[in-house]
Amino acid sequence: MISLSVNGAAGRMGRQLLTAIAEREGARVGAAADAPGQACIGLDTSVLSGGDASGVSVVDNVQALERGGDVIIDFTAPVVSLALLDALEDDSTRVVIGTTGFSAEQLERLHEHASRRAILFAPNYSVGVTVTLKLLEQAARALGDDYDVEIIEAHHRHKVDAPSGTAIRMGEVVADALGRDLASCAVYGREGITGARESQTIGFETIRAGDIIGDHTVLFAGNGERIEITHKATDRMTFARGAVRGAIWLHSRPAGLYDMTDVLGLK
C-alpha cells in the first residue's frame, strides 16, 4: 500500500486528489496539509473530499506532511511548492508538482531540487493532454514553417496565471519541433495597430471566464487550409487521477525531474 500525501488539500485540486487517492486500489491518503489558519486544519480529510472518514486529520506543516506519505502531491502556488521542497528533510520523499505559473528563476530552483530527489512536474496531468503534446510535436514537424501557429486557451475566472502552464508547454513542444526558441518567438495577446503577423512567431490568446476547467486549441494555419488540435477538460478528476497515477509511478524512481510523458512511456 502506497501512502500519498496532499499539500493544498482544501483547494479545488486538493479535494479532487483526496478523492482520486481514495478510489485508487493500492493507495491511501497518508497525510494532508493546507495553509496555517485555514478552517480545515485538524479536521478529517473527508470534510474536504466528501467521502468516508479517513482517520487522517489535515495538518498545517511540512514535517507532519512528510511523515505521512511516501509521495507528496502538491497543487498550490509556486512559492508554496518551493517552500515545501526547501523544507523536506528526507531525500527519498518523492514529490508530484501540479502547480503552474513558475518564473524562470523559480523553475531553476525546482531543477536544482531534482538533483537530489525524484520530482514529477507537469503543467497538465491529464492523459489526453499528454497525448496531445505528442500529436503537436508530429504536426509541427510535418507542417514546418509555412503554417502560422496560434495557441488559444480558456480557464475559469479564478485562475491566477496566464497563459496557462499547459499552453506554454504546448508552445515549447511546437517551438522545439520547429527549431525555434519560444522565449524569443512568443507573442502574448495583440491590441491596436500591430502590423502584419511576423512569420515564425507563436501567438498566445487567453480567455478567463466562468467555470471553464481547461480548454486548449493549437491552430496551424497555412494558405488554403488550417488544422486545429483541441483538448477540453470537463472534470478536474482527470488531472487528479493522472497525478495519482504519476505518484505511484514516481514511487520507485531515482532522483531526477520527470514529466507525464515519462509516466506514459511516450518519451
Report the interhelical angle of 237-250 vs 12-23 (nearest 10°): 60
Question: Of 71-79, 172-180, 201-209, 221-229, which segment contacts ligand NAD by CB under 6 A?
Answer: 71-79
- Tell which positions 89-128 bind ligand NAD, by CB under 6 A: 98-101, 122-125
Report whether 124 belongs to an annotated binding site. Answer: yes
Instruction: Give the span between the Cα atoms of 214 and 166, in whole angstroms.
Output: 9
Cβ-based nearer residue to ligand NAD, 158 or 267: 158
Task: Mark whether 159 is an active-site residue.
Answer: yes
Report whether 156 belongs to an annotated binding site. Answer: yes
Report the interhelical angle of 165-177 vs 127-143 (nearest 10°): 30
Q: Which residues have C-beta within 8 Å of that of residue 69, sequence separation ≥ 6?
A: 3, 4, 5, 30, 31, 93
- Tell which positions 10-69 bind ligand NAD, by CB under 6 A: 10-14, 33-35, 38
Report whether 11 belongs to an annotated binding site. Answer: yes
Catalytic one of 155, 231, 232, 251 = 155
Residue 76 interacts with ligand NAD (CB under 6 A): yes or no:
yes
Report whether 222 belongs to an annotated binding site. Answer: no
Task: Mark whether 216 is an active-site residue.
Answer: no
Instruction: Give the span between the Cα atoms of 125 and 98, in whole angstroms.
Output: 7
Side-chain-side CA neighbours of residue 217 (13 Å)? 12
Cβ-based nearer residue to ligand NAD, 2 or 17: 17
Grid coordinates representing 129 are 493532454
Instruction: Give the span between the Cα atoms of 154 and 158, in whole angstroms.
Output: 12
Shortest Å, Cβ 66 to ligand NAD: 13
Position 87: which residue type? A
Instruction: Provide the b/e sequence for 57-80 (b: ≥16 CB within 10 Å).
Output: ebbeebeebbebbbbbbbbbbbee
Q: Which of 2, 4, 8, 216 binds ligand NAD (CB under 6 A)?
A: 8
Q: CA torsion sign, 117 to 13 to 81 to 122? A: positive
Cβ-based nearer residue to ligand NAD, 87 or 135: 87
Report whether 261 belongs to an annotated binding site. Answer: no
| Residues found near ligand NAD in the complex (CB under 6 A) | 7-8, 10-14, 33-35, 38, 75-77, 80, 98-101, 122-125, 239
Q: Which residues are catalytic?
A: 155, 159
Q: Which residues are annotated as a binding site for (S)-2,3,4,5-tetrahydrodipicolinate?
A: 156, 165-166
Q: Which residues are annotated as a binding site?
A: 8-13, 34, 98-100, 122-125, 156, 165-166
